[in-house]
Chain A
């Protein structure tokens, strides 16, 4: 055991240091969020929100997710593939918002899977036209299937 004098010295030293670090004399707030992240990877916030939903379904997160999708739709208004992905994510987000914890368990897997595909598309900037066409056809099929599944889930 340490003698009491030693512990007292430690306590005083530590208290002083903690007061320096966490005292109330005009602490400087953190810098505003680094906008460079969004410029380098535009899906960063969307990714965080989708992962957050798997952690916890809250009104706050769902609201932010739908707003983020809306913002990205504007960013990618000339990219039909990305827009289709975003439309699917929007449908899934709306479905989760309505059904919350009662959402079909597959929904979260699909949500992550759709995001993962979107991520690949956004990161692989140049895609041949034929590949784009195939992706769109496949996406349309997924969207249609999802609508049917969600209808089944809700019944």
Chain B
């Protein structure tokens, strides 16, 4: 459940970009930050700490203003995709309100996508959340690589592998070029805010 301050009429919405390593999660946030930084008036923070605990994630907070009487603040996070950083992934998922799964469309990454989605399901279950009930958007990234002759998975295959049971909104995208990055973001914000509004009633 999002952090809701009824007194100040403020809602904080936490959206996490999840997916396999090197799939383009950070590129999504970087595109949003680079293109809209002045409008959303924020700083993107990349946390990379060493010490007692290794903790890596990107964080992009911004305010979308008053919606239906509430000041809505969005917080975008990415998680590290590498298998060894599962503790960090689980930590970043704490209190998540909405998820974008950034799948890597390269044919060689097919198995990694499936494993990462399964990992997401397991990590959400640790917080007693269901992958089938949380606001969720699927993004098939790196579609631009087709022009470079790199073998990609066809959309029907990606949908069958990752979205046949979830049946959530999905976008073919290129985070590097910005294709459908904003569409993905707008859709997850809409779904998440609507879900929170329903919970508030």
Contacts and interface: CB of A to CB of B under 8 A. Distances in A.
Interface of A: 1-2, 6-7, 9-11, 13-15, 17-18, 21-22, 27-31, 48, 51-52, 54-56, 58, 112
The prevalent SS among residues of B at the interface is helix
Nearest to B181: A22
Contacts of B175: none
Contacts of B171: none
Given A11-B194, A14-B67, A21-B36, A58 B50 contact: no
Contacts of A56: 21-22, 82
A22 B37 CA distance: 10
Given A13-B67, A54-B54, A56-B82, 5 more contacts: A2-B201, A9-B68, A18-B186, A48-B48, A55-B80
Nearest to B35: A27
B87 interface: no
Interface of B: 21-22, 32-40, 46, 48, 50, 54, 56, 62, 64-65, 67-68, 72, 80, 82, 182, 185-186, 189-190, 193-194, 197-198, 200-201
20 contacts: A2-B197, A6-B201, A7-B198, A10-B197, A11-B190, A11-B194, A13-B67, A14-B194, A17-B64, A17-B65, A18-B64, A18-B189, A21-B64, A27-B39, A29-B34, A29-B35, A30-B37, A48-B46, A51-B50, A54-B50
Contacts of A112: 50
Given A14-B67, A55-B56, A30 B50 contact: no
Given A55-B80, A56-B22, A18 B37 contact: no
A28 B38 contact: yes
Contact of A22 (B56, B82, B182, B198): B182
Given A7-B198, A28-B38, A30-B38, A22 B186 contact: yes
Contacts of B22: 56, 58
Contacts, number: 82
B37 A10 contact: no
A12 B48 CA distance: 38
Contact of B34 (A14, A30, A58): A30
A28 B38 CA distance: 6
A2 B39 contact: no
- Pick the most buried of B38, B56, B68: most chain A CB atoms within 10 A of its CB: B68
A14 B190 contact: yes
B38 to A, nearest CB: 4
Contacts of B67: 10, 13-14, 17
B94 to A, nearest CB: 21
- Pick the most buried of A21, A31, A55: most chain B CB atoms within 10 A of its CB: A21
Contacts of A1: 198, 201
A114 to B, nearest CB: 14
A9 B69 CA distance: 12
Contacts of A31: 37
Contact of A7 (B21, B65, B185, B197): B197
B193 A14 contact: yes
